[in-house]
Structure 1
């Protein structure tokens, strides 16, 4: 249904029609110039224009009327979709309302924010299999109210020890690992990550945390629109001939529904296999997954299909407590995980942007977006060159996130033109994802992200287990000498990153923007919207976003063939004048493709001596935020 149209540097008149209108074969007027909350009067259609749709066509994914905009709210930002929710005792925001409710229920039962996060994640493995599940990895940043600091956890699994570089290269296509199949599967780290966090911060019994997910898996739940759409897309990809997946019958049996194509919106979905797997983990802890019968089932399955993951790989896995990196951005301390993630790209972007007055540039202005996109291009060159598993490579993190290095990179940016070519810095010689946030009555806040990577994952589901294995191994490099080159027992480069910000000695925001390479770009936009433009937590997420694709170097997921400056995608809410000016600077503008990330946030604030939580959720997803 979605047509991708790439707009090069065109005259202003040629850029006037909106991309959404182009999808309908109509010409859209520009938005009016009336004040906030008033809206502009639409221009009448001319005789040469096709009539605008009068009703939502049956079966269509979207109803597009470029001349119609959201209703007016009497308070808040004109583009905000809703109000943040507030509570004194706890809060949670997730990509599915039932997962949010489960998290709140765990908090009400006396659970910690970590307990709630684990219960939420278990529910999302059932409710949102397009973005999460126990076949994938997990990362978290936690505000520890007793230690009064942010602590980090890396729950990332390694590649199979019996899979050699030579075999991987033999399976490569166009110099990169394929997106599906057993060659991309690495050890799932989620369950051990949950166990590790619970051992330190849990209050309720381990088994209690799985009760909501088990009940829903057995009784079934209606599938919301966005998740149903992406399950059906994944099922179509798994059914495509020559896709490289060794076995698809188990995936189709688990999610295919009656027609084998996946659930429709509102259709009830059950997963009794996952319920049994969760019961085993609830009773046996992490060992049930990594050394017990689940591990034995996984071992038998990969031997049967000719894959490489083995019980010994699972048994060797352990999560790590790691110290987050941080930087100051105009008085706000932003934290990010290093290890094998792209987390420090957010810090690099913010350090560069600190050298420019974004407030004076103006919210949603061409200058502001241009500066942010240029900071992204510079940071992502380093991301492609240096980021890797720190157990196998010396990543120059301290240099990459330093203010001195950012000052050097900021000098390369020009306000009136695009930097070409763009290269990574020269290091000194020495050296589809779900996000959710929750907080409890004791002041603990959890920023957690979990993923099977691209889509639902590798396409592989072990017999009777009800979950899909991640395809995270696709992000290994196959280039000799690259720090992220594939090796047995090595963790691949990770895109999933939680976000956290503090002010002074207090927590401020537990937040994240899920979605591949969009994550540091989205996190940066949230911080800029809040710090530079004063937006509150809901409007900061509802604001139109940009997403830049393409770099001179690839990390295994970057779109090829996008030219020297890449592609700058803009959501339809970006002002038309801004679009024209960005095109005049030289940006190649792309139409929206749904890749702008999905955001959740819990904010900590004080009303005198009373703690108040505010929580926000993403209008681009099926979820919600709740507080009590």
Structure 2
């Protein structure tokens, strides 16, 4: 029970459904779908489509998604909705064009958007409503307008230089030449027309025909290699989830090209410590999180890539014995300043939501355009903001994550599911680019090791020791900061809060759903 003398937020409780998203309008959209008899998949897709309108800096239909779905009948379904590099994208061709880096605003950082294809595939396989029906709330917000909420306004203003990169960014997303402030009603009629075309014609209307032609032409005019055929070839893919155990909890992630394997590796390392005996906001716990992250992320940057194009030691990375070997390299009293050599041979911004329905179908869903407003390159005819996920590619032909035709880049966005006793227990996720495996490990440990409810776990102050200095939020106790500095960590304050997250826990014994939503965003969790 939290101290009600101290400002904060209680967890949400419900019995007939729960939605937790990063925006109030998306949460209420999901609940309305549930009230009308839709299932968790229907509600999640309607909510994420709404987020693509009302939280445009964080997500959009020009981005990618990953989904984990636990049907009440049992099992886990994983969906990879990440897009691919165009057929002409080779390191040799980019070198000919003088490209030496895949910058955040480069058209070469744009991979083909995968989100719309994934939404349709998920709804057709596991939903009870049509995609067209589920897009209607998003269309309404785009046509009739929505009020800009505080965190959305902050991100919009911060990303003004990004939007100024393209005529579409300026004309569509900077009304009057500037980012809209808190409470302003924003309408996006161009995006609404695109969404309506998709509602009427399905994903095919997005990846072929006039919309695809407009997107390809826009990127080509900016020097991109994307062709109409690249859009027409887009497809999402059901994949086999990967898993490990943490204490008595079975944790599921999507496989690479996403970095979910790094969450599993971190949990395996941390499982070897008696975390419950440590202060949850103390220096020792955050030191162990930092050291585990350094080793896990080192392996991520060496090995993680699209498995269809490069081999990776994924099975080894999630073995308990491998985590044990990494754990031996951690000094509980001293921070690593130079990472030790890898134990394996090297090979040559975002929105998250969770929904659980009355039948206990659970969805963990993440949708992203990567950086704030993605690449900043906007198709003026469609309102589509192109993500820049391709900037995660390498240009070194010897690296497994080197760009190649039809290849998916290493992805940071990762949804999570956790099971107890063979039944789904939690749908959770933590946004924030590189931070996500650390965030998921921190939140899961808080709920499992300390018995926190999802809101308490999400509220707790955060740290991140990658790639160089250790970022520590202002809410961290002073004694913890001092203890981390004594261990050799170089403490810096992040430019903004570390990520954002949502979680829903299923309490089967009491028959209730418990939701948490991150105060670092405009997030809301609500139950029925």
1:298-309 equivalences under 5 Å are 298-309=215-226
Query: Does the Cα contact within 8 Å between 2:163 and 2:174 map onto a contact in 1?
Result: no
1:574 aligns with 2:499: no
- Corresponding residue number in structure 2 for 1:619: 519
Deviation of the 1:284 alpha carbon: 0.4
Establish whether residue 250 from structure 1 lines up as the match of residue 139 from structure 2.
Answer: no
Output the TM-score relative to the length of structure 1: 0.81
Q: Report the equivalent of 2:76.
A: 150
Residue 560 (structure 1) aligns with: none
Whether the 8 Å contact between 1:154 and 1:339 is mirrored in structure 2 is no
Cα distance in 2 for residues equivalent to 1:324 and 1:250: 38
2:417 is aligned to: 500
Q: Secondary structure of the residue that 1:250 maps to in structure 2?
A: helix
Residues of 1 paired with 2:171 and 2:4: CA distance? 45
Shift, 1:170, TM fit: 5.8
Q: 2:405 maps to which residue? A: 488
State the distance in 1 between where 2:153 and 2:349 align.
14
Native 8 Å contact 1:157 1:189 kept in 2: yes
2:41 corresponds, among 106, 111, 114, to 114
Q: Normalising by structure 2, report the TM-score.
A: 0.96
Aligned to 1:605: 507
User: 2:241 aligns to what?
Assistant: 324
> CA 1:500–1:172 in structure 2 vs 1: closer, same or farther (change >3 Å)?
farther
CA offsets, 1:408-449, max 9 Å, x none? 110111111123421453337999111011111221111000
CA contact 2:23–2:523 (8 Å) conserved in 1: yes
Indicate if the aligned counterparts of 2:104 and 2:391 stay in contact, CA closer than 8 A.
yes
1:164 aligns with 2:66: no
User: 1: distance between equivalents of 2:97 and 2:256?
Assistant: 27
Alignment of 1:138 with 2:65, yes or no, is yes
Cα shift readout 1:202-254 (whole Å, capped 9, x = no counterpart) = 11232110111111111111101111121122222343xxxxx5xx1111111
Partner of 1:33: none
How far apart are 1:535 and its partner, in Å? Answer: 1.0
- Conservation of the 8 A alpha-carbon contact between 1:568 and 1:589: yes
Asked if 1:593 is matched to 2:495, the reply is yes
Aligned counterparts, 1:474-553, within 5 A = 474-550=391-467
Higher relative contact order (CA 8 A, sep 6+): 2
Alignment partner, residue 115 of structure 2: 190
SS at match of 2:425: strand
User: Does 230-239 or 455-464 show the bigger shift?
Assistant: 230-239
Tell me the CA shift for residue 603 of structure 1.
1.1
1:177 matched to which residue of 2?
A: 102
Kindly provide the CA deviation profile for residues 562-597 of structure 1, in whole angstroms up to 9, marking residues without a partner as x: xxxx21111122111111111111100001321411
**1:302 offset after TM fit, Å?**
2.7
Q: Deviations over 1:163-185 (max 9, x none)?
A: 33134346677x53111131111
* Equivalent pair of 1:227/1:622 in contact (CA under 8 Å): yes
For the Cα contact (< 8 Å) 2:497–2:520, is it kept in 1? no
Tell me how far apart the structure 2 counterparts of residues 595 and 180 of structure 1 sit (CA, whole Å).
Answer: 23
2:129 equivalent in structure 1: 204
Structure having the higher Rg: 1
SS at match of 2:251: strand
Secondary structure of the corresponding residue to residue 549 of structure 1 = coil
For residue 556 of structure 1, what is the aligned residue in structure 2?
none
Task: Give SS of 1:328's match.
Answer: strand
Task: Work out the CA distance in 1 between the residues paired with 2:181 and 2:70.
Answer: 39
Instruction: Confirm whether residue 297 of structure 1 aligns to residue 222 of structure 2.
Output: no
For 2:20, the equivalent position in structure 1 comes to: 93
- Following superposition, the deviation at residue 86 of structure 1 comes to 1.3
SS in 2 for 1:149: coil
3-state DSSP of counterpart to 1:298: helix
* Partner in structure 2 of residue 73 of structure 1: 4
| Contact kept in structure 1, 2:469 and 2:491, CA below 8 Å | yes
Indicate how the Cα distance of structure 1 residues 208 and 532 shifts in structure 2: closer, same or farther if over 3 A, else same.
Answer: same
Task: State the SS of the aligned residue for 2:135.
Answer: helix
Structure 1 CA distance, aligned partners of 2:497 and 2:318? Answer: 26
List alignment gaps of at least 5 residues for structure 2: none
In structure 2, C-alpha distance between the alignment counterparts of 1:486 and 1:162, rounded to whole Å: 10
SS at match of 2:364: strand
Residues in 1 aligned to 2:215 and 2:258: alpha-carbon distance in whole angstroms: 26
Query: Is 1:356–2:302 an aligned residue pair?
Result: no
Deviation of the 1:453 alpha carbon:
0.6
Cα gap change, 1:345/1:171 in structure 2, threshold over 3 Å: closer, same or farther?
Answer: farther
